[in-house]
Every structure is written in structure tokens, then in C-alpha cells.
Structure 1
């Protein structure tokens, strides 16, 4: 059992807490881990791009790690201490949990709950439904436009004049699109870009550049999705 009482806080999303929230499915691939969460009012996907470990248990089997977390408050929480990571750290061989950058999140539903160890904040976005606005053409156009914005406007490593590097930033397109479809503000998109530049590229933040990029990304989102 964890040596300290669990401390966690709700991760704010565009999908409000509902007592009927359920975990419909999960998908784990080399590109990351994702959960489809549903309620009577919305359907969302939460994506963890870099995952060190996860577990899915029945709510009753995770009771000691759900202290302070309930569906009345939210369905996505970040755990500061006293959670699964601390529990695993009682084992001398568990080295991942001792890395300073490993963060723990809880994804909870009425029946199933998941603990996730990751490096970055997850992306929460509207799940694509059959026949929805985002199903095909609009989502494809948005992805293409954001790819162009990242390459020609953001371009933190300066390769926009190299045609053979056109896909250099495409790996980050889903993260930006996820923020946009999840209702993120221009400031939140800019913060994401600064985080990518600093943590994944080792670059200093450039608020002016990321601000212009985020503004253009939001403008395209409004054009495509309005």
C-alpha cells in the first residue's frame, strides 16, 4: 500500500464530469496509448503519446488509489503522490518511477479505471463519430493546414526551405489538432509548441514565434470547423 495519502487534481478538459462516464475502449500502439471515454453528453479520446506503463482495473480493485477522485469532480486526474507510481516504487527494481520527469494520471469510468505513467500531459479531443463533421474531409483539411503552419510558420529548427524535410513536424500535428478540437485557447496551443521545442528539441522558448503560429493554427481551425 502507498506510504502517503494520495494527492491528485482534476485535469480540466472540454468534456465536463458526468456520473455516467464510462471507459469504452483503449488502444495501445507504438504511437501511444489512447482511451475512448463516453458519457450521455459527449464522446472523447484521451491520448498519451509517450507511455512508460499503464494498468486497467475494476474500480473496486483500485479503491486505495482513487481517494479524492470521483466522477462528480472529473474523469481525468493527475496524481502528485500516493498513487500507483509510489506503490510500485516500494519495489527496489522499479526504476521508471524514480525518474524525475515521470508523471502519473488516472482515467476513471463507472466500472473501469486506468493508471498511466507518462512524460507529457495527455491530449484530449473529440472522438470522431461515423457521419460527424470531423470524420473525413474537414479533419483531413485541418491536419493538412496545421502541417503547413508548423512547417512554414513555426519551423523551430529552420528547415522550411528544404523540400525533402516537408514532413519534419508532422509527428506533432495530432497533438496540435487534439488541442484545437479539445477547445484549447491560443495561449494553450502556444504553450504546447513551447513545450515541444524545449523538451523534445532542446531549444529555448520563442514566445513571439509560437504566438504567431498558435494564432494562425486557431484561425485555420475556425475556418475549417465553423
Structure 2
């Protein structure tokens, strides 16, 4: 299967232990905190990714998305990708029998990964968050 993806975030190593730390959804606004690493001070060093007009999302283990990583020319080393074809949106279009014209985004970590349908581009911010147990 061909996955047409383009990097949206800057290139960064995807740490094996990185993960989706939290997801907050309210009135179409989706906020995802990616824990790139846990610092000695028990802080999370990561990314805060915000979608203003999300219409759907799913969280899967990275192994459940192996077809993405193994796709020819799939861009590795980016936490946020825009999926232009062959992804979850294409699956939904095929099941429904029509194309909704939605935009699909993919958040990649060493563990959990999220696919998001959103009308606009995400905002990405580097963050350090206190209080990791």
C-alpha cells in the first residue's frame, strides 16, 4: 500500500520511549501532548500539538500502523505528518463510497500514534511540563 505523507514538524529523532502523554478534546478543539522524553527532574520534554477544528481522531499503537512505516518513501524522523493519500482518510472514503475532502494528520511517537481529521493546520509548540509521576 502506498502512503503519501509529507513532514509538517521539524526533523527530530523519534525516541523509542516517546508516547502520547495526554489528549484533550472539547468543542472540536483537540490538544495532544507528546512526551518526547522524561527528564531527571520528572518533567516531560515534548510537544504540544493543537488542532482548532478537528472532526475525528484515533489512537493506535505504532505496531498497528506498520503499513505506514514500511511504505515506500515514508518520511521518518518527524512527529507530525500530513497524510495526502493512502491513510485512514482514504480507508474511510473507500468504505463510504465518496471523498469528503478532509485533511488527515499523523502524530508519530515510539509508542502511541494518532491520526486526526482537521480542517486547519496544527499549531506545534515545544514544551516542558512539570508533575510527571
Same fold (TM over 0.5): yes
Which has the larger share of strand? 2
2:42 corresponds to: none
SS in 2 for 1:89: helix
Q: Distance in 2 between matches of 1:64 and 1:112?
A: 15
Which residues in structure 2 correspond to 1:71-220 (within 5 Å)? 73-92=77-96, 98-100=99-101, 102-127=102-127, 129-130=129-130
Higher-Rg member (1/2): 1
Quote how far apart the aligned CAs of 1:22 are: 2.3
Unaligned runs of 5+ in 2: 40-44
Q: Does the alignment pair 1:51 with 2:46?
A: no
Which 4+ runs in 1 deviate beyond 4 A? none
Q: Distance in 2 between matches of 1:118 and 1:9?
A: 16
Per-residue CA deviation, residues 123-142 of structure 1 (Å, 9 max, x unaligned), is 011336349xxxxxxxxxxx
Per-residue CA deviation, residues 13-51 of structure 1 (Å, 9 max, x unaligned), is 4xx512313221111111511110122384220001111
1:221 corresponds to: none
2:20 corresponds to: 23
Q: Number of residues paired by the alignment?
A: 120
Q: TM-score, normalised by structure 2?
A: 0.78
Which has the larger share of helix? 1
SS in 1 for 2:94: coil
